[in-house]
Every structure is written in C-alpha cells, then in structure tokens.
C-alpha cells in the first residue's frame, strides 16, 4: 500500500527530534502507518549523513524522496510542511499543495515549545489529540562496559556563529570536580573537535561515531551534562537524566522536556537573546561565562538520583 502522507523537512537534528511526535501522529493516521519524508537533494552539508541514518532506522518513515533528483512518484493526499524550516524548490511545491498555512510563530513572544507547536500543526490537518513521545533511533553499538557512574559531556554548537551563545567554557574544570566527588567514567561526545580542550575524560567519542551510534552511548549514561544542541535533544528523547546549560537560547522553545532533565541558566536580564542580533553579536556572552561549575554541580546529585 502506498504511503499517502509526505513531510517536507530541512532543518537541524534537534528540530527533527522535536518534530518526531508530529511525524508519529501523522503516521498513526496514515493507511501505511508510515510517512514519506522529502529532503532537498541540494542539501549536502555535513549534517546530511546523520539525517539519512536517522530516517533509515526510523520505524514510522517509509521512504525518503530527494527532490529534485527524485520525483514524486506516489499520490499523496497530505503534503505536510511548516514555515519553520529552510526553503528550497521542494518547499515551494509543498506550499502550493498544502491548503493550511502553517506560518512560523514568533517564538520569543508565544513561549510555545517546538514539540507542541508541531503537534498543533498536525491538529490543523488531522485533528488528533494524541501527543506521542519524542523519538531518536539508536545504533547497535558501542556498548559502555565501564565501572562506576557513567557521565557524558557535550559542548555542541555545530555552527561557528553560534559557538559563543551556546558554548560553555568550563567543562575541563567540571571534569576535575566530578572525579573528585564520584567514582565515575567521563565520556565525551559531540561533533568534530568539540571538547578538544578537555583532557581529563576517560573515553573520547567526539567526531568518531555516527549520530545514532552516539545516541546509543547517550542511552547508557547515568547523567548527561550538555549544552543546547542536537545531542541534547537525543538525550531528552531517551529520557536520560540531564543537566542542560542554556545561554542565549530560548528554553521555552528548545529546552529539554523530559521529567529527568533540568534546564539551567544564569538568569541574566538579557537572557534569552535568541531571535535577536545579540545572539550572534553579544559583546560579552556573560550568560555562559558567568554560569559557574558550582551552579552546575548543585544539580548533578539530583539528576543522578533519577537514574536509580
């Protein structure tokens, strides 16, 4: 039976994970119980292999259409898109076929989490009230066989222009304090050379694993300490105890929503500055610089209890 629903997507990995409840809701009302996903074949930045891996392991995604390299050969009765995405020629086709205008909100003023905004967009099409959980596929390995408390750290920013607004400068000091308090194994995860300045970790997976392999590692952690990045959303979907460090990002839109996670911020008057020019051009980034190791450690014990 042909899939009757196709979803256009071109955004970040964290946005994809936050969209998975909506994708599952769409799939649940589809005759095939799956959806097709349309990606732009021109989208070939370093994230693209992670998306291909994600969709290949996703039980509610049937096929990926790479437009315009591949054409739409099935007959779809629902072409789902939202304006919270990056435009391409495929986007214009979806916009023409979609009879409900899913306009991007003013995230700062509406204070709606992206997970629930996507679900609201599905409700415009299908009227479903179900809110499935977030989903991230995990690869078969690697397995963590280390002793003691397994603590993962991630200082992800992906984009160079976001690094000051999201990067926390004290992970090296944090590792030393964690080792003085706990019998623990510290595992570094992330992209390319993130956390290259942290020397005290026991296992370094940064830049060495695929996205879904990294998700497998995260699923085995007793605690994940991370900034606002795609792997944070993976941990959120996996319900791993987390301490999430926020700088200029909107917690209302991007924050972890698992009951085992806590989002912490310095609480400056200028926070959050996302969706303003200061997010990329702040003269001081005190939101991250003044968030101390001591403040992070105050939340570590409570989150570790969530794993027991």
Q: What is the mean predicted confidence (pLDDT) over 152-173?
A: 82
Structure tokens at 231: 């792997």
Looking at the chain, the whole-number percentage of residues with pLDDT higher than 90 is: 58
Check if CATH label 3.40.50.2000 holds for domain 5-126. Answer: yes
In the chain, domain spans: 5-126, 149-306
Q: Which residues pair with 186 in a beta bridge?
A: 151
More confident residue, 165 or 94: 94
Q: What is the mean predicted confidence (pLDDT) over 230-238?
A: 97
260-285 per-residue burial string, b: 16 or more CB within 10 A, e: under 16: bbbbebbeeeebbbbeeebbeebeeb
* pLDDT exceeds 70 at position 162: no
Q: What is the mean predicted confidence (pLDDT) over 268-287?
A: 79
| Fold match flag (5-126 vs 149-306) | yes
**The model's pTM:** 0.93
**Secondary-structure class of domain 149-306 per CATH:** alpha beta
* pLDDT exceeds 80 at position 308: no
Q: Which residue has the tokens 């200028």?
A: 270
Q: What is the pLDDT of residues 22-35, one digit of tens each?
A: 999 999 888 889 99
Structure tokens at 218: 């995260």
Structure tokens at 156: 């992800």
């Amino acid at each position: 039976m042909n899939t009757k629903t196709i979803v256009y997507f071109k955004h970040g990995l964290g946005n994809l994970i936050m969209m998975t409840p909506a994708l599952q809701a769409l799939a649940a009302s589809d005759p095939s119980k799956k959806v097709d996903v349309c990606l732009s074949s021109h989208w070939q930045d370093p994230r693209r292999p992670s998306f291909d891996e994600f969709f290949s392991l996703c039980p509610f995604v049937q096929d990926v259409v790479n437009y315009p390299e591949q054409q739409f050969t099935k007959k779809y009765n629902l072409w789902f898109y939202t304006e919270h995405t990056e435009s391409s020629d495929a986007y214009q086709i979806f916009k023409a076929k979609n009879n409900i205008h899913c306009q991007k909100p003013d995230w700062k003023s509406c204070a709606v989490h992206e997970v629930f905004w996507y679900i609201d967009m599905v409700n415009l099409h299908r009227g479903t009230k179900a809110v499935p959980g977030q989903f991230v596929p995990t690869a078969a390995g690697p397995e963590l066989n280390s002793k003691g408390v397994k603590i993962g750290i991630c200082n992800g920013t992906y984009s160079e222009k976001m690094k000051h607004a999201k990067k926390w400068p004290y992970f090296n000091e944090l590792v030393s304090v964690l080792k003085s308090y706990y019998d623990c194994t510290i595992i570094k995860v992330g992209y390319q050379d993130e956390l290259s300045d942290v020397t005290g970790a026991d296992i370094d997976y940064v830049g060495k694993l695929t996205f879904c392999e990294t998700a497998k590692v995260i699923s085995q952690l007793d605690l994940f300490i991370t900034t606002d990045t795609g792997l944070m959303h993976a941990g959120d979907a996996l319900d791993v105890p987390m301490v999430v460090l926020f700088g200029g990002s909107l917690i209302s839109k991007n924050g972890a929503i698992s009951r085992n996670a806590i989002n912490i911020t310095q609480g400056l008057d200028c926070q959050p500055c996302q969706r303003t020019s200061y997010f990329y051009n702040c003269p001081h980034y005190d939101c991250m610089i003044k968030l101390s190791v001591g403040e992070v450690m105050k939340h570590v014990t409570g989150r570790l209890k969530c794993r027991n």
